[in-house]
Amino acid sequence: MTHIQFYLIETENSSEQFNYALQLALQHLARGKHLHIHTSSSGDTSEMQKLFADKLSHGSDRLSIDHIGEPKNNREVLLNLSAEVPHFFSSFESTLEVICTGSSGKDTGRERYRFYKSRGYPLTHCDVPAQLAL
């Protein structure tokens, strides 16, 4: 069963959400994991690709970033940056949800938390101070 990990960032700034997502992704890639980042739009996909352009010297064959659909293979870690639960999340070993605790981010994060919980997925969460998300 897919394990769901929530990371709650004390901010309303989406750039801090993306920066923290980058840190999480790099950690998982350094551990040899295959990672798919699901974004909400083509603009968000482009922004994440730009963030990775300077940071990723190796391991790019284990990374996919997209807003349209699910990856064809390598379903170890899903990092969700979309406001909705991706329909394919359960095909991954783990799903990471990075939530900004600003008003709208917190509300949509709570909806996703309730969705996963009502279906019996194992959930954990971590509060991330804003200064760590830079």
- Quick: pLDDT tens for 76-113: 999 999 999 999 999 999 999 999 887 678 899 999 99
What pLDDT does residue 49 have? 92
Does residue 105 sit within a domain? yes
Q: What is the mean pLDDT of residues 53-82?
A: 85
112: domain CATH number?
3.40.50.10110
Asked if 2 and 90 touch (Cβ cutoff 8 Å), the reply is: yes
With a cut of 60, say whether residue 30 has pLDDT above it: yes
Average pLDDT value for residue range 16-35:
92
Inter-CA distances, 128 with 9, 12, 64, 70, 98, Å? 5, 13, 25, 28, 10
Query: Residue 55: which domain range?
Result: 3-129
Q: Is the pLDDT of residue 2 over 90?
A: yes
For residue 134, tell me if it sits in a domain.
Answer: no
pLDDT score at 70: 84
Residue 10 counted as domain residue: yes
Q: Is residue 92 part of a domain?
A: yes
Res. 10: pLDDT tops 80: yes
Report if residue 35 sits inside a domain.
yes
Position 127 pLDDT exceeds 60: yes
What's residue 54's pLDDT?
A: 76
Confirm whether 118 is domain-assigned.
Answer: yes
Extended strands (E) in the chain:
3-9, 35-38, 63-66, 77-80, 94-100, 123-128
Total domains, the chain: 1
Query: What mean pLDDT, rounded, does the chain reach?
Result: 89
* Assigned domain for 111 exists: yes
Kindly report the backbone phi and psi dihedral angles of residue 80, in degrees, each rounded to the nearest multiple of 5, phi listed first.
-95, 120
pTM of the model: 0.92
| Residue 68 reports pLDDT greater than 80 | yes
Domain contains 112: yes
Q: What is the DSSP letter of 133?
A: G
Instruction: Report the pLDDT averaged over residues 55-76.
Output: 82
| pLDDT confidence of residue 55 | 79
CB-CB contact of 3 with 95 (8 Å): yes
